[in-house]
Structure 1
Amino acid sequence: MDKFTKEQRSKIMSAIRGKDTKEEVLLCKTLWHLGYRYRKNNRKVFGTPDLTFAKHKIAIFVDGEFFHGYDWENKKHKIQTNQEFWHKKIERNIERDKEVNEYLISQGWTVLRFWSKKVKKNLDEVVKVIKNEIDKNKP
């Protein structure tokens, strides 16, 4: 049983952002201050990555743990309310992420995906991975 009423849960879920999450903003500001220039939510690139470095063909996604199924096999049993809906939705998100990765890779893009909690807790490590990838892909 959910500890919130249906109206409270609806309000909480509607407040979850699809773009410009705290972690995305943190990563963007850090990269910008280091002198890296990128496009945010570039709709011209399949899958609308959170950040793109078109010159280097690098697409970066910052995925939220709940909606993108972090440790899904262990965590899916913890969803107590509206299980059928959430299982279907999250499993489709996982499938879509794989499709986006495969397509972008087939088009010569490098795809980097980070869990939002990794960005929050290990920002330096995430930035290092991005910097290394940019250095590798310099034209």
Structure 2
Amino acid sequence: MAELIDNAYDPDVEASELHIDIRKINGKDCLTVTDNGNGMDVDHLEKMLSLGFCEKEQYEKAEGPRARKPIGRFGNGFKSGSMRLAKDALVFTVSEESETGSIGFLSQTLCKEHNYDTLILPIMEYQFQDQDHILSLGM
């Protein structure tokens, strides 16, 4: 859980709120972690879901009383944290800067059911027609 919370704290995310909930979906317990951070475009989502990729060094020199220092260094926190909690992770993110939304799927179940020997990362990006279509999560 700490890894998922740390991601919302990072300086490039700038989340001021974080909500954690467990709900039943189709009879299965599902953990949801929602923040009001900056979101990611499809390129950043792909990097975040890929093993060993990290851009946090650019934030190491942050200064000032409210400057956040990044947590983690190796780019494996989300993957190792989420995969220890569950076999699958579905990530929804909205980047207001690029006016896009992205959905990424990290799944041990998919790889096992199809006997993949390579990690498959299904990712979908969609474009908003106008700002009125950006879903508010009530934060």
Task: Tell me whether the two structures share a fold, i.e. TM-score over 0.5.
Answer: no
Between Structure 1 and Structure 2, the one with more helix by share is: 1
Q: Give the TM-score of the pair, scaled to structure 1.
A: 0.30
TM-score, normalising length: structure 2:
0.30
Query: Larger strand proportion, structure 1 or 2?
Result: 2
